[in-house]
Structure 1
Amino acid sequence: MKLFNQFTRTGLGLTAALTLGLAGCNVAEDADSPMADGGPMTEESQEMSPEDPMATEPGQGMDHGQDPAMSGEAMGDPMDGQGMHMAAMYLGPADDEFELRFLDAMIIHHEGAIDMAEEALEKSEREEVRQLSQEIIESQEDEIAQMEQWRDEWHADAPEERQMYDAQMSQTVEMDETTKSAMQMDMELGGADEDFDLRYINAMIAHHEGALDMARQAMENSDEPELQAFAQTVIETQTAEIQEMLALRDSWYMGADG
């Protein structure tokens, strides 16, 4: 339990830009990457509001390894050795298909959050965790239904398959299974042991950060008033849930030395 003694909240921030157009869903880090030539994810677009509990200084890198609570031991290697998708999810430029890509990405992302929340209902014995998880399920199921409706109304001619932005081809393409998994941020939360709630909270905070990143892109790139309002609601709701989870984590695990 000593690894829970110190928490660095900024360690939960998203640290690397994920280029979702690559077939292998590779992280863009080298000079030849499509994201390296003055890529779209600028400091301005990534900067968080002062109210955001995960906010950092613009351009400040956040080291995943600095947070003991997010270590492989505490998380139980949730990505089966691949590491968590601590990445900004780039949805492409402000073109005619941005809203389609946003809706498809956020729907899948919400489905991942619902899966984790349902697992928490099965495994957690804490009422606070169970209540929060139920609220996440209900709110995000409603939001999925709304996004599906907008997709049908705004993009009636779009393919049935989920769409994404291919950064190498600079165009919208069908989302492959690897990218769907990355969008969901699928995580193995482990068994119903004494540290399940810690793993769940850490994973859900990271998952919410992915939603916040995409919502900020919608605020910047979409001219659709309804989508702007929706993105603002996502930011407000999930920021509040992050604050709640941080408070619960601090209350239950700060100073634990057993």
Structure 2
Amino acid sequence: MNSKRMLVAVGSAAAVVALVAGCTSDESDDNATTSATTSASVSASGTAEQGGPHNDADVEYVQMMIPHHEQAVEMAELVPSRTGNPDIIALADQIEKAQGPEIEQMEGWLKAWGAPEPSKAEAPGATSDGMDHDGMEGDGTSMPMQSMPMTSMNSMPGMEGGGHGMMSAEQMQALENAKDAEFDKMWLELMIAHHQGAVASSEQILQTGESEQVRQLAQQIVSSQQAEIAQMEALLNK
């Protein structure tokens, strides 16, 4: 009799253990499912927020501003090897550190929006090989670009720059060939025009854009680059 009672007790205990284990497993599965769902929801929410309300003007502005920023960074990278002017070196470093992260930010927006990133060939003033060849066939009598004053460069066909203040390939080549005081003057004048183009485009998107994130960046560009324009104009007048 005692043996039968013991067997019943053992059987009951085993059933309870199995039941508890099953409940625990179900609860763990439920928690895992809930956690995965929550994580997916947060991720989707983040993507939706980044992609947020926007219009065609926002997309066009970002697609234009990415190569615009890339050229500013390229100009800034020329500075340390071409001048010893500490003010220009510091300003170039400031521009590079500010605009590099902004490029990544804008590329993220285009990805979230499902919009294509601009290629370098699509940059204003560039042809399919990335060069603006208009007016540059030459007859063997053209003066070396590195010796051209800025007023002469900007008045020659094909040397006007690419729009939105961007340099043409020829202006970039001339800048690369310049050194010291000549480089300083050329770099400041070209970067002022470059900044003015960015400010004008940013002021326009503040009126026509829909994306709050784009508007915040545009306002930041207006404020920071207007201050840098004033700084560069002061350096030119030293």
TM-score by length of 2: 0.55
Contact 1:218-1:231 at 8 Å conserved across structures:
yes
Quick one: distance in 1 between partners of 2:103 and 2:66? 6
What is the match of residue 218 of structure 1? Answer: 205
Q: Which has the higher strand share?
A: 1
Q: Which has the larger radius of gyration?
A: 2
What is the match of residue 226 of structure 2? Answer: 239
Quick one: distance in 1 between partners of 2:222 and 2:108? 21
5 Å-filtered alignment, 1:28-107, equals 96-107=55-66
Contact 1:120-1:129 at 8 Å conserved across structures:
yes
What is the match of residue 178 of structure 1? Answer: 127
What is the match of residue 68 of structure 2? Answer: 109
Cα 1:237–1:136 change in 2 (3 A) is same
Give 3-state SS (helix, strand or coil) of 1:178's partner.
coil
Quick one: distance in 1 between partners of 2:105 and 2:116? 18
Quick one: distance in 2 between partners of 1:121 and 1:202? 17
Contact 1:120-1:130 at 8 Å conserved across structures:
yes
Give 3-state SS (helix, strand or coil) of 1:118's partner.
helix
What is the match of residue 101 of structure 2? Answer: 142
What is the match of residue 205 of structure 1? Answer: 192
Give 3-state SS (helix, strand or coil) of 1:124's partner.
coil
Quick one: distance in 2 between partners of 1:115 and 1:175? 14
Aligned residues: 145
- AA aligned to 2:116 is P
Q: Deviations over 1:200-238 (max 9, x none)?
A: 101100110110111011101102111111100000000
Post-superposition offset of 1:175: 6.7
The answer to whether 1:159 aligns with 2:113 is no
Structure with higher RCO (Cα < 8 A, 6+ apart): 1
What is the match of residue 124 of structure 1? Answer: 83
TM-score by length of 1: 0.51
Quick one: distance in 2 between partners of 1:113 and 1:149? 19
Post-superposition offset of 1:96: 3.2
Q: Which has the higher helix share?
A: 2
Moved more, 232-241 or 209-218: 209-218
2:182 aligned residue (195, 203, 208): 195
What is the match of residue 135 of structure 2? Answer: none
Contact 2:72-2:191 at 8 Å conserved across structures:
yes
Runs of 5+ in structure 2 lacking a partner? 1-53, 133-161
Cα 1:175–1:245 change in 2 (3 A) is closer
Quick one: distance in 2 between partners of 1:142 and 1:101? 19
**Percent same amino acid at aligned positions?**
31
Structure 1 runs of 4+ off > 3 angstroms?
159-163, 174-181
Cα 1:120–1:234 change in 2 (3 A) is same
Post-superposition offset of 1:178: 3.3
